[in-house]
Amino acid sequence: MNEIILANAQLVLPEEVVTGSLRIAGGRIAGIGQGAAVPAGALDCEGDMVMPGLIELHTDNLERHIQPRPKVDWPHAAAMIAHDGELASVGVTTVFDAMRVGSVQSARTNYRAYARQLATEMLHLRASGALRISHFLHLRAEVCSQTLVQEMAEFGPEDRVGIVSLMDHTPGQRQFRDISKLKAYVQGKHALSDDGFEEHVAHMKELRARYGELHERAAVAEARRYGAVLASHDDTLADHVGTSAAHGVRLAEFPTTHEAAAACHERGIAVMMGAPNLIRGGSHSGNVAAQDLAEADLLDILSSDYVPSALLTAALMLGDLWGDVARGVRTVTRAPADVVDLHDRGRIEIGARADIIRVHRVAGAGAVRGNWVAGRRVG
C-alpha cells in the first residue's frame, strides 16, 4: 500500500485521454497530474495507456476451468485460482462470476446443482487472501428448470450476489429462435441423436409450461432479498423488454434484436453485448451484431462472455469505431460499475479505488503490462 506514481502515461479519464501521471496511496487514487515528466521513484509508463481496471459482469470462464473437458470435474480451488489469475492477466480487476442455479434432469441431460458449493469455496478463497482480484457472484436463474426455488433459497445477502439474471432457454425463442442453431449447439455438446434432441426439446418446453412463471417470480423476489441487481437475458421482442422493466431489470444481457435493444434504451435499461460478437463481426447464434448496436448508439456495456481477453480488445475497437477512446473504455469500466452500484471504481478520479491497469497497444489489441487492485500490484 506504499505510494506509487505511474508517470509518462496516456491517462484514460472518464471523458478524455491526456498525457499525465497518476499517484496512488492507501489503495486510492491520490493525485492526477499532466505532462510527460517522470519524477524520481516513479514508474515510467513510456507512453502506455493507464486506465481503470476492467469490470466483468458476465463470464463463463470459471465453469470452463471447473470442467475443462466433458465429464471432467477439476479440483475447485486450483480451478478458481487459475481463473482468477487469467482474469488478472488480461486486465480485469472486478468480476461477477456467473453460476447457474436451476437444475435440469432427464434421461438425456443432467445439469446438476453446483452453485452453492462452488460459491462457498469461492468465498473461502477470497477470505483467505488467495485471490488477486475482486469477486462477486452472478446467479444465472434458469426458469426453465426443476429446482430453481430450492437452489436460490440457499443464498443470502452475505454471499456477495451482485447480479441475478433471468434465463429462459425454452427452445424456439430468445437466443435459439432458430431451432437448427439450438440443435447444432446441443448435439455438439451432448452428442445427442436426432431422436434424443427432439426428446430434449419436448422436455424443456414441458418444464417451461410447468414452472416458468413460478420460477420467474421467485427469482425476482430472491434478487431483492439478496440486494442484487436484476438482469434480463436474450430479450428478443419489445414485449420481453416490457416484462423486464416491470420486474425492475436494470441490465439487459445480449438482446438478440435491434428492436429489443432500442426498447431497452427507451425503458432506461443498460444494454450489454458480448465482446466476442464484436470481434468476430457477428453473433455465433445468428442474432444481432454488437457492431450494429454500437453504430446505432444502443450499446452501453461489454462482457467477455466466453473469452476473457476479448474484453480489452473489444473496448479498444469501440474506441476506434466511435473515434473516442475514453467512451470505448467506459463500456468496460465506469458503465458496468455504475449499473451494479460499485461507484468506488471504474474511473480515474481522486478518491476512487485504485484498480488500475497499464496497457500497451499492439496491432489493435491491448497487452496488459501492469495490474493494480486497490493499489496492490497483482500482475
Q: Domain with 68 in it: what CATH number?
A: 3.20.20.140
- Quick one: 87 and 45 in the same domain? no
Answer whether 28's CB lies under 8 Å from 354's CB: yes
Q: Give the closest residue to 52 by CA, choosing from 331, 291, 361.
A: 331
Q: Are residues 262 and 134 in the same domain?
A: yes
Same domain? 130 vs 254: yes
Q: At 11, which CATH number?
A: 2.30.40.10
Say yes or no: 188 and 301 in one domain: yes
Q: 44 and 60 share a domain?
A: no
For residues 47 and 60, state if they share a domain: no
Task: Please tell me whether the overall predicted TM-score, pTM, comes out greater than 0.85 for this model.
Answer: yes
Nearest to 30 by CA among 4, 10, 53, 49: 4
**pLDDT tens for the chain, residues 1 to 379:** 579 999 999 999 999 999 999 999 999 999 999 999 999 999 999 999 999 999 999 999 998 999 998 789 999 999 999 999 999 999 999 999 999 998 877 655 557 889 999 999 999 999 999 999 999 999 999 988 888 999 999 999 999 999 999 988 666 565 556 566 555 555 555 556 666 666 666 666 676 767 778 899 999 999 999 999 999 999 999 999 999 999 999 999 999 999 999 999 999 999 999 999 999 998 877 789 999 999 999 999 999 999 999 999 999 999 999 999 999 999 999 999 999 999 999 999 999 999 999 999 998 899 999 999 999 999 9
Q: Which domain holds residue 13?
A: 1-51+348-379
Same domain, 253 and 199: yes
Examine the domain organization and report whether 218 and 247 are in the same domain. Answer: yes
Q: Which residue has the cell 483467505?
A: 128
The SS3 assignment for 256 reads coil
Q: Are residues 316 and 363 in the same domain?
A: no
Count of domains forming the chain: 2
In the DSSP assignment, the letter for residue 236 is -
Kindly state whether residues 294 and 278 are assigned to the same domain: yes
Residues paired with residue 373 on neighbouring β-strands, in sequence order: 376
Burial class from Cβ neighbours inside 10 Å (0-12, 13-18, 19+) for residue 44 reads middle
Question: Are 287 and 305 part of one and the same domain?
Answer: yes
6 and 126 housed in the same domain? no
Q: What's the CA gap between 21 and 7, in Å, rounded?
A: 4
